[in-house]
Amino acid sequence: SSQEWNNAFQEWIDSHKHQNLPSLSDEAINRENIYGERG
């Protein structure tokens, strides 16, 4: 069910919090920077 999927996804998110990974900048997730000439 969608609730089960949401719970599993939240558990996955929570399992990565302790890794202290850096966030991506707005520029890094900009559509043009991701897809470039493709669209």
Better pLDDT: 12 or 37: 12
Non-local CB neighbours of 10 within 8 Å, separated by 6+ positions: none
- d(C-alpha 27, C-alpha 39), whole Å: 16
pLDDT score of 30 more than 70: yes
| Segment 25-39 mean pLDDT | 85
